[in-house]
Structure 1
Amino acid sequence: MAVSVRIPTILRTYTGGESEVSATGATVSEILDDLDANYAGIKGRIVDEDGKLRRFVNVYVNNDDVRFEQDLATPTPDGAEVSVIPAVAGGC
């Protein structure tokens, strides 16, 4: 299933500067595998060594945070929009 993946500025070096790319897969995990096959190294910036989402990276499927859905097993229906968003932290 083809989906559109929005890439944050910090990861665009992996996609040749592209802010949006296409990927295929039935779940977020499969989408990340497809991304990594086409843009080597990008998956390692999104998931940790244990294969879990990095603490400061948020992934959304059609505006739903996958952490509140099925995490990396969240389905990605054909035509879905997947957004990878680095968390913003700050303070005084």
Structure 2
Amino acid sequence: MVQVRIWGSLASAADDQTEVEIDASTLRELLDELADKYPSMRPQLDRGISVAIDGKVYNDSWFTPIREDSEVVLLARLKGG
């Protein structure tokens, strides 16, 4: 299981939880499990979110591995220019 911190408006889609445990070993598995466990989060996941794993932000790197001791933070998609 991976401990996931959820920031900002995404927490409201996770029943106002700011930390959840998800069984996943890749970023794709993490997002799929979040959508299954919290269906109201699916629209935000479909629009795109950012996930920080051990301090590095990933957007669409589906096969990025996640270890059980990884620091995982889910946040609204970061955009910049």
After TM superposition, the score normalised by the length of structure 1 is 0.71
Structure 1 residue 82, shift from structure 2 partner: 1.4
Structure 1 residue 31, shift from structure 2 partner: 0.7
SS at the partner of 1:12? helix
Question: Would you say how many aligned residue pairs link Structure 1 and Structure 2?
Answer: 79
Give me the whole-angstrom Cα distance separating, in 1, the residues matched to 2:70 and 2:2: 5
Give me the whole-angstrom Cα distance separating, in 2, the residues matched to 1:79 and 1:6: 13
What's the C-alpha RMSD, in Å, of the aligned pairs?
2.1
Look up the equivalent residue of 1:66 and give its one-letter code: Y
After TM superposition, the score normalised by the length of structure 2 is 0.79
Bigger radius of gyration among the two: 1
**Which residue of 56, 61, 80 maps to 2:53?**
61
Give me the whole-angstrom Cα distance separating, in 1, the residues matched to 2:75 and 2:10: 10
1:23/1:16 CA distance change after superposition, 3 Å: same
Q: Which runs of 5+ in 1 are unaligned?
A: 49-53
Structure 1 segments of 4+ aligned residues over 3 angstroms from their partners: none
Identity %: 23
Q: Which runs of 5+ in 2 are unaligned?
A: none
Considering fraction of residues, name the structure with more helix: 2
Equivalent position of 2:36 in the other structure: 37
Give me the whole-angstrom Cα distance separating, in 1, the residues matched to 2:3 and 2:46: 19
Structure 1 residue 23, shift from structure 2 partner: 0.5
Equivalent position of 1:47 in the other structure: 46
